[in-house]
Amino acid sequence: MQNAQCNKMLWTNRPPHADHRVWGDEDEIVATAVEYARRRIMQAPDPVTGARPAADLALAAGTAITPSGIGGTAALKLFDQVLAPATRAQNGPMNLAYIPAAPTRAALAFDTVTAAANIFAGTWEAGAGAIHAENEALAWITQLLGWPGSAAGCFVSGGTMGNLSALITARRAAATTRPRPRSGWKVVCADSAHSSISSAARAMDVEIVTAPVDERGHLTAAAVSAVLDSTTGVFAVVATAGTTNAGLIDDLDGIADACERHDVWLHVDGAYGGAGLAASSVRHLYIGIERADSFIVDPHKWLFAPYDCCALLYRDPAPARAAHSQSAHYLDAIDRDVHNPTDLALHLSRRARGLPFWFSLAVHGTDRYTRAVEQTLTTSRLVAEAIRTSSHLRLMTDPELSVLLFERPGWSPQDYASWSARTAASGATLCVPTQWKGATVLRMAFVNPDTRAEDVIDVLRTLR
């Protein structure tokens, strides 16, 4: 009784304003950081931001992690004035390099909400509401694929994790029907497949068998059939719906025929190009994708979500659950009658990275998403036509999606590099060279509906 009274006094006799929290009073810096985030979301991206030499950046940043800390004001100022300007503005309308990103403001805003909610979205017990919303966004993609309502998936960090998880599932599925081949398991893909396929193969200790592409760069049914007819141990074929370098879509329907004949898993990597499923003007290019066993698309590329967000989907999720479900005493109470994201990919802990995508879809509607994808396709076609009719440029191949490859005849690799550096430094555009059939060319990727064709065409005139 005496101890109880003593404890009561300890709690009730504290000075009313005594701050006993480990982290102290964070109210002011939280308010400042939230306001800073609001301003960043609303302001236009700075087109001249970009990387700095490591030594230069280290000198400018100084040391922020110290025993006593530098305080919220100083840390935020350091980020705003030194660190943020040393990053590339991915959502700039004239950023046409690599595969940029153009998230909606709604998605960016809800990314802050998602972070503030601090949701563990790995299991239904912990994150049911978030997982329900993510599944609604995944269902829209499933409908675009033409898959049954029983299909399921989850959001992972990016195409690399999505491709790896899908191929692990494919190998597990093959192993349930036949023993491991004496020569080892194999994956068939084209040289044009994303580098993450080779990375996944190394991680899984399986062999890549490369099938040749046609004269335009597509993986064809004939090439896949020839490899499957002559090669043992193939457990998966990877086709691409929108190659990163040229935006090409492989012969999905014919490849699906070949996979069915040989009872081989078909995985379609649509990390960039999968968004084109939403556009009626190019939907015919994806015929056969409804027969794939697994599929990925990165909403942080052409579906207007912030980093990082990859949708990984299975036409039948049962093999994925068999491949990825983890077992431990502390996981015994997990409801396995629902699709837990932890059971469908190579992960356990995960944030609800699909929520910003879901929120933006809910805010704007899928019709506006369709219009946005079509807008970027229209822009790329207008620029392609300007290049095609130009007296000083040459289009390398007719675009299928929103990637353009073109050259300035007579220029050397150094000429391309110099022009690219000048236009980046001036903020006119970010456009970098690539290789196409052994030659150095320029490449533009259009994923931002705010990019204006006339602005790009004006920049192209500087290539004279």
Instruction: Express each pLDDT in 444-459 by its tens digit.
Output: 999 999 999 999 999 9
Mean pLDDT of the chain: 94
Cis peptide before 308 (omega within 30 of 0): yes
61 CB-contact burial (10 Å; exposed 0-12 / middle 13-18 / buried 19+)? middle
Q: What is the per-residue pLDDT across 433-446, written as a single tens digit (0 to 9) for each?
A: 999 999 999 999 99
Which range, of 9-13, 18-22, 103-107, 404-408, averages the lowest pLDDT?
A: 9-13
Q: What pLDDT does 333 receive?
A: 62
8 Å CB contact between 220 and 213:
yes
Q: What pLDDT does 326 receive?
A: 87
Is the pLDDT score of 309 beyond 90?
A: yes
What CA–CA distance (Å, rounded) separates 304 from 309? 10
Is the pLDDT score of 171 beyond 90?
A: yes
Q: What pLDDT does 249 receive?
A: 98
8 Å CB contact between 101 and 450:
no
Q: What is the per-residue pLDDT across 220-240, written as a single tens digit (0 to 9) for each?
A: 999 999 999 999 999 999 999
Is the pLDDT score of 335 beyond 90?
A: no
Is the pLDDT score of 462 beyond 60?
A: yes
Q: What pLDDT does 449 receive?
A: 98
Average pLDDT value for residue range 368-397: 98
Return the biggest CA–CA distance within the chain.
95
Is the pLDDT score of 11 beyond 50?
A: no
Q: Which residue in the block uniquely carries the two structure tokens 């025929």?
A: 257
Is the pLDDT score of 10 beyond 90?
A: no
Q: What pLDDT does 53 receive?
A: 95
Q: What are phi and psi of 268, to 5 degrees?
A: -110, 120
- CB neighbours of residue 183 within 10 Å: 10
Is the pLDDT score of 9 beyond 50?
A: no
Where on the phi/psi map is residue 71: left (φ > 0), alpha (ψ -120 to 50), or beta? left
- Work out the percent of the chain whose per-residue pLDDT is above 70: 94
**Cβ neighbours of residue 389 under 8 Å, at least 6 residues apart?**
none
Average pLDDT value for residue range 67-91: 96
Q: What pLDDT does 3 receive?
A: 54
Report the b/e string of 336-367 with b at 16+ CB within 10 A. eeebbbbbbbbbbebbbbbbbbbbbbeebeee
207: which 2 tokens? 């062999």
Per DSSP (E only), the strands in 202-280 are 207-211, 234-240, 265-269
Rg (CA), the chain: 25
- CB neighbours of residue 234 within 10 Å: 23
Q: What is the per-residue pLDDT across 23-56, written as a single tens digit (0 to 9) for each?
A: 888 999 999 999 999 999 999 999 999 999 999 9
What CA–CA distance (Å, rounded) separates 441 from 38? 39
**Cβ neighbours of residue 295 under 8 Å, at least 6 residues apart?**
145, 166, 267, 268, 270, 274, 289, 312, 313
The residue type found at 252 is: L
99: which 2 tokens? 């595969």
* CA dist 435 → 47, 396, 440, 447 (Å): 25, 11, 5, 21
Q: What pLDDT does 327 receive?
A: 78
What CA–CA distance (Å, rounded) separates 287 from 428? 38
3-state secondary structure of 108: helix
- CB neighbours of residue 88 within 10 Å: 18
